[in-house]
Amino acid sequence: MNSELLVSDASHFRVDYQINPYMDPTVQPDTEAALAEHQAIVAAHLAAGRKIQYVPSAPECPDMVFTANAAVIRGEVAVLGNPPRERKTEIPYFRAWLEDHRYEIVEAPYAFSGQGDALACGDLLLAAYGQRTDGRMLPLLADELGYEVVPLRTAGERWYDLDLAVGVISPDTLAYCPEALDAPSLRTLRGLGLELIRVAPEEAARFALNLVSDGATVTMTQGAPRLAAELRERGLEVVELDTTELAKGGGGIRCTALALDNPPAALWP
């Protein structure tokens, strides 16, 4: 889980439009700093023993560094993302990479934020709808990927993707921000029988939950010392990185890493 990741790069990362509340086109990232930040994230994945695959970013795609929205993948099957208009030009690049690497491609007929709204947790897929993902995607994800889909809704635009509100630490442990989910979703999450770590909205708003964990090492942003301490107390290795530039696009570490190695279902054809 999360041992093979698809990344792009920050060479063309800009804030050209506003499709989430964190983006402000008058506040542009510093390209050098963004490149360094992204390279440090990739270096941390490699140091944790993860394998990295790479799709170069295209000049006309200022958000392409956020590969998580390109698809959600289980085994050999990739369900492509269907992002807002501003990001549609990214999809053919990711599609080509996935086709070249022999993934079976499924197109999303409705709005779909890819892994941004679809977090694998063992045989469960925590899937949000109502913002960047149309609810009609959930049965399709269950059919195509063989997951038991757990439908969730976030509590407002600040949590435009589920990966800002919930972080999967291991198949039996989730970190989550209660204020970022609506009441029925909280009940659903608390009823799953998983170990839950609460994260304060101040830390979640700094993208604390937008983390990559393989169950041994957690790669996360700086600025969330309480979550970092809690994870260390549980025996996890925690690597905290600067994500100041990426945050100008409304993203963090999880957003830049599409998991390529979600294990297929044991009894799936």
Q: Is 249 in the site for ligand ARG (CB under 6 A)?
A: yes
Residues in contact with ligand ARG, shown as a per-residue x/- string from 165 to 204 under the rule CB under 6 A: ----------------------------------------
Q: Is 90 in the site for ligand ARG (CB under 6 A)?
A: no
Least distance to ligand ARG, CB of residue 133, Å: 11
Segment 15 to 44, residues that bind ligand ARG, using CB under 6 A = 19-20, 23
Beta strands in 55-137 (DSSP E): 71-74, 77-80, 104-106, 118-121, 124-128
At CB < 8 A and 24+ separation, what contacts does 122-127 make? 122/171, 122/172, 123/147, 123/148, 123/265, 124/148, 124/149, 124/150, 124/192, 125/72, 125/149, 125/150, 126/150, 126/152, 126/162, 126/166, 126/168, 126/174, 126/189, 127/151, 127/152, 127/162
Tokens of 203: 């830390």
Select from 181, 189, 255, 259 the one that contacts ligand ARG (CB under 6 A).
255
Select from 10, 13, 37, 116 the one that contacts ligand ARG (CB under 6 A).
116
Least distance to ligand ARG, CB of residue 207, Å: 8
Q: Is 250 in the site for ligand ARG (CB under 6 A)?
A: yes
Half-sphere exposure at residue 186, Cβ-oriented, CA atoms within 13 angstroms: 10
Segment 44 to 63, residues that bind ligand ARG, using CB under 6 A = 63
Segment 125 to 144, residues that bind ligand ARG, using CB under 6 A = none
Residue with the two structure tokens 């949590």: 159
Contacts of residue 261, defined as CB under 8 A and 6 or more positions apart, other chains included, come to 1, 2, 3, 4
Alpha helices in 146-258 (DSSP H): 183-190, 201-205, 225-233, 244-247
Task: State which residue, 84 or 215, has the beta carbon closest to ligand ARG.
Answer: 84
Q: Is 161 in the site for ligand ARG (CB under 6 A)?
A: yes
Stretch that binds ligand ARG, among 4-12, 74-82, 159-167, 225-233 (CB under 6 A): 159-167
Amino acid of residue 182: D
Least distance to ligand ARG, CB of residue 18, Å: 9
Residues within the interface to ligand ARG (CB under 6 A):
19-20, 23, 63, 66, 68-69, 87, 116, 161, 163-164, 249-251, 255
